[in-house]
Chain A
């Protein structure tokens, strides 16, 4: 078996606020392999967001070890972390985090702008267009986020996460701001991407959403309390059909 994309060994993160130590993540050890689709669940304060920040190289662990694609993250400088985020990671946020007043295409081109050495401008455009086509927004290149629906905005964010061909896509409550139908669509998109080989780690507090993933990790008080494959995995296609049916019935009543 090849190197796991993520290796956590007794990883911990302690905050010091007003002299009080807060153990946001205590001792987490786990591995995530290429091609997995993992949900990290837990209530607020369980440490899942902190863990996500560490996985995303936005934050460094204060204890233990974190290897991303075999590279130890703890000792890297701020710029080295930035480079790692740029080359190996794609982010999808709850509130989309798109640049306002900037077109979909330009938003998707953004990660390539910070890639060193720079990608040729013409192939930047081509890759951004391809990424947008992949998420089904090939006809919305020139639209700005404010002209698009929440689901469409999240698709732009996903295209942006994919454009640098990352090892791993990290999604933080990606459906938190979306309605049920759009959520199913987005999860469907993630499933498609995962089927094509992209590794995805997602933080959510909704079991509904987690149930689309292949593996579910549950956290509480900074510890992993359960880590198991998801036996009853939902598929977006049938779920959408079920939803349509239910709406149909509701209308008939």
Chain B
């Protein structure tokens, strides 16, 4: 029992103290040797933290789009190979929208959407912003309540009334501390009465700020601002997550039929559900994570080779010390353990400093990118176990070399 305790705990502990002392003697060399591991571990920790933070942010954004959401974008306009993006072709009419709403049973709410940019002028200030034209159901579909005032009504949509609901950022830019409700904002010189203010939703997918917008009835935008006859997007809320796929198929079939798309030809619209959006984003961030992981893995490999190199140098330098230890009774296994623990100590030192550096880097990136990186216990444990494994793997060969020295030759070594 006591012998086991000594073999498993006390002796390695005492040996670790010898190793620490040896490393302290060559402070600069130890730090430089550990640098490879430091960089490797730091990049792993930072990468995982940033990846997690980014995923959390994207998940938040995707779920902020609204529950059970289907988006039907008008087709891409392709002219001479230039893709003008989703919603750029005039392929969805108001009649299409009405047909979709009437014929697909699982739709609980729907809002067409059109958009443009305009210069908004109010109380002597002006601000360039996005103008969205939607139906009152839009707020329900997107889970986006007003924080003050009220949404315009279906009646106001039918009459293309000059009413507006204002995003929180736009309100702040145009009115500052003044309550915007009841105020007038001029778009293209047309005055609109503000009836409500949207709650703040934060940055959206990509870099556009969702809170920087003015929402009008879609009829108003189409008649008074753009003169367009088609809509760019249908926001559709389905009653239940399990019905999403069916609804998606029905909408697709219906729109193909209405557009007389021949079988075998592609859709002239794009239909996306929330899950697909999330999957696409996750896919991209997964690829980036893998690439960064490969880089981190390589720097860990290089760090390990650095440790092996310096341990070989150390074994040569300390040949006589090894000889002395052997002469007074150290067995090969004692010497092996000593140098192995030294290598492991070096790599764990690198791991520890690397975790700290990773924390710092993650925080720095988070500050620049505007989200909260998440350092998980898992990535810290992973970093430490990987450094431990590197120490064992790359320390073993030099340690075995030391253990196999002949005591007579080692004692005579100059």
Contacts and interface: CB of A to CB of B under 8 A. Distances in A.
B408 interface: yes
Interface string A31-65: 00000000000000000000001001011000000
A87 B411 CA distance: 19
B328 A101 contact: no
B331 A79 contact: yes
A75 B188 CA distance: 104
Contacts of A59: 408
Contacts of A233: none
B334 interface: yes
A82 B329 contact: yes
Contacts, number: 62
Contacts of A164: 329
Interface string B387-414: 0000000000000000000011001000
Interface residues of A, number: 27
B333 interface: yes
Interface stretch (B6-14, B130-138, B229-237, B268-276): B6-14
B4 to A, nearest CB: 10
A83 B331 contact: yes
Interface in A109-147: 110-111, 113-118
Contact of B333 (A53, A79, A85): A79
Interface in B301-340: 320-321, 323-334
Interface in B181-233: none
Contact of B3 (A83, A101, A117): A117
A244 B6 CA distance: 52
A114 B3 CA distance: 13
Interface string A75-113: 000110011011100010100011101000000001101
A82 B410 CA distance: 14
A58 B331 contact: no
Given A99-B321, A117-B6, A58 B330 contact: no
B333 A97 contact: no
A118 B13 CA distance: 13
A161 to B, nearest CB: 8
Contact of B325 (A78, A110, A116): A110
Contacts of A113: 14
Contacts of B329: 82-83, 85-87, 111, 114-115, 164
B15 to A, nearest CB: 9
A97 B333 CA distance: 21
Query: Which of B2, B323, B327 is packed against the most chain A CB atoms within 10 Å?
Result: B327
Given A114-B325, A117-B2, A118-B11, A97 B330 contact: no
Query: Which of A58, A82, A164 is packed against the most chain B CB atoms within 10 Å?
Result: A82
Interface in A142-160: 160
Given A58-B407, A59-B408, A160 B6 contact: no
B325 to A, nearest CB: 7
A123 to B, nearest CB: 14
Q: Is the interface of B mostly helix, strand, loop or mixed?
A: helix
Contacts of B14: 113
Contact of A114 (B320, B323, B328): B328
A213 B58 CA distance: 88
Contacts of B260: none
Contacts of B327: 56, 58, 85, 91, 97
A74 B269 CA distance: 90
B315 to A, nearest CB: 15
B155 interface: no
Contacts of B324: 97-99, 110
A114 B321 contact: no
B328 A78 contact: no
Interface string B270-300: 0000000000000000000000000000000
A67 to B, nearest CB: 19
Query: Which of B3, B323, B331 is packed against the most chain A CB atoms within 10 Å?
Result: B331
B331 A78 contact: yes
A114 B332 CA distance: 11
A111 B328 contact: yes
Contacts of A115: 329
Contacts of A58: 327, 407-408, 411
A160 B328 CA distance: 9
Contacts of B331: 78-79, 82-83, 114
A86 B324 CA distance: 12
Interface string A8-46: 000000000000000000000000000000000000000
A93 B327 CA distance: 11
Nearest to A59: B408
A42 to B, nearest CB: 18
Given A101-B25, A118-B11, A85 B328 contact: yes
Contacts of B323: 97
A53 B407 CA distance: 10
Contacts of B6: 116-118
A78 B327 CA distance: 12
Given A86-B330, A91-B327, A114-B329, 6 more contacts: A59-B408, A85-B329, A86-B328, A91-B328, A97-B324, A114-B331
20 contacts: A56-B327, A58-B411, A59-B408, A78-B331, A78-B332, A82-B332, A83-B329, A83-B331, A85-B326, A85-B328, A85-B329, A91-B327, A91-B328, A93-B411, A97-B320, A97-B323, A99-B321, A101-B25, A117-B2, A118-B10
Interface of B: 2-3, 6, 10-11, 14, 25, 320-321, 323-334, 407-408, 411
Interface of A: 53, 56, 58-59, 78-79, 82-83, 85-87, 91, 93, 97-99, 101, 110-111, 113-118, 160, 164
7 closest pairs, A vs B, by CB? A86-B329, A111-B328, A114-B329, A82-B331, A79-B331, A114-B330, A85-B329
